[in-house]
Amino acid sequence: MAAINFPNGNSYAGKLYAEYLTPAILAPTGLVNRGLVTPVETMKSVETLRGVSRVIDLQTPSAMFNAQSGNIDLSEKQLTLVAYEVMDQIDAELLRTTWESEQQRPGSFEDYKLTPELYSFLLDKIYVPRMGIANEALYILGKAGVNTTQVATASFSGTYTGLLPEMVADAAVSKRSLPAGAKSAITAIVTGAAGSATVAVASAANIIVGDRVTLIGTDGNQTIGGVTIAGQTVTVISISANVLTIEEAVVGTTAATEGQAFFINQNNVLSVLTSVYMSIPQKVKKQVSNTGNGRTKIHISDRIADAYRVANGLISGQGGSFTREGYFDQNDLIPYLDIDLVAMPYWADNQLAVWNPGNVFLGFDLLSDEVFARVLYLGDVTGDDVYRVKNRMKSDITYKYAAEVFLYRPQ
């Protein structure tokens, strides 16, 4: 259990700014609140998702009843909740040596108490939103993906695959590559420190600074962060001709001379979405369920959503405009023909997924568990002058019919 001790660089130098600040984070948007999944509430352990189907046969007329062969097809898939908790401890005694002491009440025992302002800030701006972020990242990216949010980690012992990793591992899910306009052949990757390593491509005409570029099928032995460079996504910080300088450090003695660099930005997002839209089977595209607005959706990263907004804004006439409200609200469904685009704050780079909300299920006990924190001051109970913050959550997420889920990615 981690302990937070104060101060963390606080001093009496300068004039006090009376508000607390925290690093920028992407707020969770709520898979249930936006109608992106079907909630299965008040679960304690395991819930079975049952399916039934039957193909009927149009037979030759007969005076005698002639039953078609076979029987109804029954199938099951289980949601198995995984429990995990937040347990943190705060020791506020050293606040008396900081600016915050001006807001503490008289009396030496009050040295152990958080000020009302800091107590509220920690609860409302630190713990509650970060619990929401951690849960949303867990649902989508799985246990390993929580660490990429930079606001939480996941050390619990249970296995939690997450929706996107389950799709990747499931052979029954249709996995399709991005179209040709979303990639450029790699000709060389040059090892270097952060900000100096480079990726040379056949054409950088449609790549822009800031692009997140996924490297696939590379040879050589280069790594980023100790992990093979193949399959990793890098950030472009400058471009010279067809050479991309990237933010990440690249290590390795045998340089890659082949592979593909995949990217999605405003220059190709419309062609990418067209390719995805036209490849969705009609029965899935037109499916209507009882969850949310019931329509099938294309789930995309915030960056792809931004590229779509920019691309629409750059279109002259034909409805293109930087003022179309539907393109800009981060929490709204973004209009795209007869289905919706959904911007997902915690999502894999250069990947799109298609599903109907009636086919993806999120199990939990109470939805409020996601952001409920119990805070106890132990000074009046055990004599330990610390605060303890605890949250408990149980959840699992999965889809019922893999054949109705589609994943578009670099491959």
Using CA atoms, how far apart are residues 393 and 128, in angstroms rounded to an integer? 13
Return the pLDDT at 301. 92
Can you tell me the mean pLDDT for 378-401? 88
Return the pLDDT at 225. 92
**Cβ partners under 8 Å of residue 318, min gap 6:** none
Candidate from 14-18, 82-86, 150-154, 333-337 with smallest mean pLDDT? 14-18
Can you tell me the mean pLDDT for 296-313? 90
Structure tokens belonging to residue 101: 């002491």
* Residue 171 vs residues 166, 167, 234, 356, 407: alpha-carbon distances, Å: 10, 8, 27, 19, 11
- Of residues 364 and 247, more confidently modeled: 247
Using CA atoms, how far apart are residues 399 and 404, in angstroms rounded to an integer? 9
- Over residues 155-195, the pLDDT tens digits come to 999 999 999 999 999 999 999 999 999 999 999 999 999 99
Candidate from 122-126, 176-180, 241-245, 313-317 with smallest mean pLDDT? 313-317
CB 37 within 8 A of CB 397: yes
Q: Is the pLDDT at 108 greater than 80, yes or no? A: no
pLDDT band per the 50, 70, 90 thresholds, residue 324 = low
DSSP track, 238-304: EEETTEEEESS-BB-SS-----EEE---TTTHHHHHHHHHHHS-HHHHT-B-SSTT-B-EEEEEHHH
Instruction: Return the sign of the alpha-carbon dihedral for residues 27, 361, 400, 141.
Output: positive
Using CA atoms, how far apart are residues 366 and 335, in angstroms rounded to an integer? 31
> Which residue segments constitute the domains of the chain, with CATH numbers given?
2-41+79-171+361-399 (no CATH), 180-262 (2.40.30), 267-359+403-409 (no CATH)
Using CA atoms, how far apart are residues 183 and 202, in angstroms rounded to an integer? 10
Instruction: Return the sign of the alpha-carbon dihedral for residues 226, 229, 231, 232.
Output: positive
- Over residues 43-63, the pLDDT tens digits come to 888 888 888 878 788 888 889
CB 265 within 8 A of CB 209: no
CB 354 within 8 A of CB 310: no
**Residue 403 DSSP SS3:** helix
pLDDT band per the 50, 70, 90 thresholds, residue 23 = low
- Over residues 110-168, the pLDDT tens digits come to 766 777 777 777 888 888 888 888 888 999 999 988 887 778 899 999 999 999 999 99
Amino acid at site 300: I
CB 251 within 8 A of CB 220: no
